[in-house]
Amino acid sequence: MGFADAYLSKQKGFSPHISSYPAENLRFLVVIPAFCEPDITTALQSLWNCDRPACHTEVIIVVNAAENADLPTIQSNRSTLESASQWIAGHFDPAFCYYIIDEQKMPIRDAGVGLARRTGMDEAIYRFNLIDQPHGYILSFDADSQCDPNYFTAIETALNKHSGVKGFDVYFEHPVAGSDFSEKVYQGAAEYELHLRYVNQFLRFIGFPFAYHTVGSCFGVRADIYAAQGGMNKRQAGEDFYFLHKIIPLGQFLDIHTTRVIPSPRESFRVPFGTGTAIGRYVASASHEMPTYEPDCFLALKQFLQQVAGLYKINQKDMSSLIDSLPVAVKDFLIENKAADAIQEINSNAGSPESFRNRFYRWFDAFRIVKYLNHASRVYYPQVSVAVASRHLLRCIGYGDTYENSNVFELLEVFRTIERGKEKVIGNV
Q: What is the DSSP string of 80-143?
A: HHHHHHHHHHT---TTEEEEEEEEEEE-TTTTTHHHHHHHHHHHHHHHHHHTT-TT-EEEE--T
300 lies in which domain range? 295-379
Please check whether residues 284 and 257 belong to one and the same domain: yes
Please check whether residues 283 and 307 belong to one and the same domain: no
Q: Note whether residue 414 is domain-resident.
A: no
CA 155 and chain centroid, separation: 16
Please check whether residues 369 and 315 belong to one and the same domain: yes
Of 288, 319, 353, the residue at which a domain comes to its end is 288
346-373 CB burial, b ≥16 within 10 A, e <16 = bbeebeeeeebbebbbeebbbeebeebb
CA-derived radius of gyration, the chain: 22
Of 288, 308, 336, the residue at which a domain comes to its end is 288
Please check whether residues 349 and 234 belong to one and the same domain: no
Q: Note whether residue 62 is domain-resident.
A: yes
Q: Note whether residue 90 is domain-resident.
A: yes
pLDDT score of 269: 53
pLDDT score of 424: 58
Please check whether residues 59 and 107 belong to one and the same domain: yes
What CATH number corresponds to the domain at position 156? 3.90.550.10
Report, as ranges of residue numbers, the positions in the chain whose pLDDT lies below 50.
Answer: 428-429
pLDDT score of 428: 45
Please check whether residues 186 and 318 belong to one and the same domain: no
Q: Which H or E element spans position 5?
A: helix 5-9
Task: Indicate the number of domains in the chain.
Answer: 2
CA 112 and chain centroid, separation: 17
Please check whether residues 97 and 209 belong to one and the same domain: yes
Q: Note whether residue 333 is domain-resident.
A: yes
Would you tell me how many other CB atoms lie within 10 Å of the CB of residue 8? 16
Please check whether residues 262 and 306 belong to one and the same domain: no
- CA distance readout (Å), 20 to 17, 23, 138, 250, 339: 9, 9, 18, 33, 53
Please check whether residues 99 and 244 belong to one and the same domain: yes
pLDDT score of 429: 38
Cα 226–Cα 227–Cα 230 angle in degrees, nearest 5? 90
Burial grade of 133 (CB within 10 A; 0-12, 13-18, 19 or more): buried
Q: Are 329 and 298 in contact (CB under 8 A)?
A: no
Percentage helix, strand, coil, to 5, in the chain? 50, 15, 35
pLDDT score of 251: 93
Would you tell me how many other CB atoms lie within 10 Å of the CB of residue 132? 13
pLDDT score of 296: 97
Bridge partners (DSSP) listed for residue 168: 220, 254
Q: Note whether residue 274 is domain-resident.
A: yes
pLDDT score of 410: 97
Amino acid found at 27: R
CA 86 and chain centroid, separation: 31
Q: Note whether residue 337 is domain-resident.
A: yes
Q: Note whether residue 158 is domain-resident.
A: yes
Q: Note whether residue 238 is domain-resident.
A: yes
pLDDT score of 280: 81
